[in-house]
Every structure is written in structure tokens, then in C-alpha cells.
Amino acid sequence: MKALPESMTVFERGWLSSNNVLFASGEGTAIVDTGYASHAPQTLALVKQKLGARRLDLIVNTHLHSDHCGGNALLQHQYACDTLIPSSEAHAVRAWDEEALTFRATGQRCERFGFTGTIENGAKLELGGFDWNVLGAPGHDPHSLMLHCPETRVLISADALWENGFGVIFPELEGDSGFAEERAVLGLISTLDVDIVIPGHGAPFADVARALDVAFSRLDYLQADPARNAKNALKVLIVFKLMEVRAMSFDAVLAMTEQARSMRAAADALAPPNERRALIETLVGELARGGSVNVSGAMVSAA
């Protein structure tokens, strides 16, 4: 895989936090996505270590799921930097509507942050001395964006494309369209000149054709039976929460699936309310057998 430009640094994070892309050039400094709230001090330490005495000028968020914007508040406090968010999320951030921003819906958290500007499909940004095109990437999230630099042939794909799939198609959980949008985004990526993809999670990769084949196959599988998407979403959200808090009682896991809107919608697609406990027992058992969680008595913990 060819090297990234010297003005770009990728902080590959664990699955609780999205990857961060730091830019530093004569024109200024910027970071794309900031990880989850519990990792915010680590995010700040990584930025400080790389920038040294330089200040961070700008935060750019591809979308506002908690694992992509959870470090915004601390970085803003430290650097008083500008922040660009997707334009369609501006009202929710201004009002700090945690339901619309999906933090409560997914059982996650994010410290309140502000913004100084917005971006949307068709916008252009200068980052690291290069021009980047902002591309709409609905599917995983209706507000999500990607960044593409034709000159360097680099794509920051967020959760629209990973090396082995893509993020949960959340809109489908609540009856909105998401599969068609994800298919269109994958089709768009296939038309771009790209040598390196920097995904929201996982290492940067160069075999874009293979990744697209995997993603299209995965999408076909999920779309053939929407219950598969619901099951995947519920498992992902349970594991995500356990990565944050490390351990929970089974009853707490069950309560969370009933209280968090997206989790409840996923569970409703799989079983009626009177069978909810049996459903979560089955899913936790499958996660344990797969090595994603550990079960000890009434406690469930991250593996």
C-alpha cells in the first residue's frame, strides 16, 4: 500500500472509538472524527503528542454517532478550535437533542459540544494542503459524509465502507430506508479513483475492489431478511456498551434493550415483548460462544 501524505496521520483506535485522521500542514491543523467520550483524554493525548506546540485549528465530523464525536467537547475546551458538522444535524446539536442525535437511542453518551460551521454533500475542504470533496454517505446513518481527495486518491469512508463490511444500517431498524442508500454509496465509491481507504474502524486498506465485493455481499445478505440487520444491530450495541462499562448484570442489559429506542426497535423486530428475556439470553449466549463477551452467573462482561 502506498504511503499517505506526510501531512496526514491516522490514529487507528479500538472498536469503541472511531479512527481519527489528523492533518498538519502550513495551512493549519485539523482532525477528522474524535472517538468515544470515555477515550477523550486519550484522543487529546494523541493530538498533543503529534502537534507538539501547535494548536488544533479544526474538527471535522463525518457523522455524529457517539464513537465519532465523543472527543469533540474536550478538544474544543483545550484548543477553542472550529468545528464542522453535517448540516442536517445542526438543529439537533444546537438544541442538544440527545434523542435525535441517537445517543439515548443507542444507550451511549456524549459530552455536549458546539459547532462553528456545517458541511454537506458537494462541499470542498482544504485539509493537510490538499483539496477534499465532501460526499454524502447515507445508509449507516442518514446524515453521514465521506471525504475524498482526488489528488492523493485517498477516501475517508467513515462507516460506509470497512475492509470487511460497513456499519449497522440503523434507519432500517425503525422502518426508514437504509439498504438502498448504502447500496448507492457503495456504487459511488466504486466510481472514485481511490488507492487508500481510511475507514471509521479498522486499519487503512488498499484493496478497494475486494472490500466493495465483501460489502455488496453483506448488504445482499442483510437485505434478504431485515431481521438479520436487527439481530446484528442488537449484538453490536450490547458489545459496544460492554466495551465502555466492562461489565453489567444480565438484568441491566435487558433493561437497556427496553429503554434505548434503537435497541428496543431491533428487539421488537425479533421477538414480542413477552419473549424479550429469552431473546436477550439467546443473543448473549451467541456472543459468548463467539468470544465477544464473557458470562459468569448473572454478570455479562466484555471479552
| % of the chain at pLDDT higher than 90 | 99
- Is residue 1 domain-resident? no
172/177 Cα distance (integer angstroms): 6
- Is residue 232 domain-resident? no
Residues 202 and 249 in one domain: no
- Is residue 30 domain-resident? yes
- Cβ atoms 86, 144 nearer than 8 A: yes
Residues 277 and 213 in one domain: no
- Count, in order, helices (H) and strands (E) of the chain: 10, 14
Residues 216 and 269 in one domain: no
Residues 150 and 266 in one domain: no
Q: What is the DSSP letter of 49?
A: H
Q: What average pLDDT does this structure show over 241-256? A: 97
Residues 23 and 149 in one domain: yes
pLDDT of residue 220: 98
Residues 245 and 205 in one domain: no
Please check the confidence at residue 239 and state whether its pLDDT lies above 90. yes
Domain stop point among 165, 192, 224:
224
Domain stop point among 190, 224, 258:
224
Residues 206 and 251 in one domain: no
Domain stop point among 180, 201, 224:
224
Residues 116 and 220 in one domain: yes
Residues 105 and 198 in one domain: yes
Q: Which residue has the cell 431473546?
A: 279
Q: What share of the chain is helix, strand, coil (3-state, %, to 5)?
A: 40, 20, 35
Q: What is the DSSP letter of 5?
A: P
The model's pLDDT over 142-175, given as tens digits with 9 standing for 90+, comes to 999 999 999 999 999 999 999 999 999 999 999 9
Please provide the average confidence, as pLDDT, over all residues in the chain: 97
Cell of 175: 422502518
The model's pLDDT over 19-52, given as tens digits with 9 standing for 90+, comes to 999 999 999 999 999 999 999 999 999 999 999 9
The model's pLDDT over 83-101, given as tens digits with 9 standing for 90+, comes to 999 999 999 999 999 999 9
Element (H, E) at 295: strand 293-296
pLDDT of residue 2: 87
- Is residue 230 domain-resident? no
Q: What is the CATH number of the domain that holds 84?
A: 3.60.15.10
Q: Which domain does 198 fall in, by range?
A: 8-224
Q: How confident is the model at residue 113 (pLDDT cuts 50, 70, 90)?
A: very high
- Burial string for 48-87 (b: 16+ CB within 10 Å, else e) reads eeebeeeebbbbbbbbbbbbbbbbbbbbbeebebbbbbbe
- Is residue 20 domain-resident? yes
- Is residue 3 domain-resident? no
Q: How many independent structural domains does the chain possess?
A: 2
- Cβ atoms 75, 41 nearer than 8 A: no
Other residues' Cβ atoms within 10 Å of the Cβ of residue 244: 19
Residues 119 and 174 in one domain: yes
The model's pLDDT over 176-233, given as tens digits with 9 standing for 90+, comes to 999 999 999 999 999 999 999 999 999 999 999 999 999 999 999 999 999 999 999 9
118/154 Cα distance (integer angstroms): 22
Q: What average pLDDT does this structure show over 3-15? A: 96
Q: What average pLDDT does this structure show over 287-300? A: 97
Residues 32 and 179 in one domain: yes
Residues 261 and 204 in one domain: no
- Is residue 233 domain-resident? no
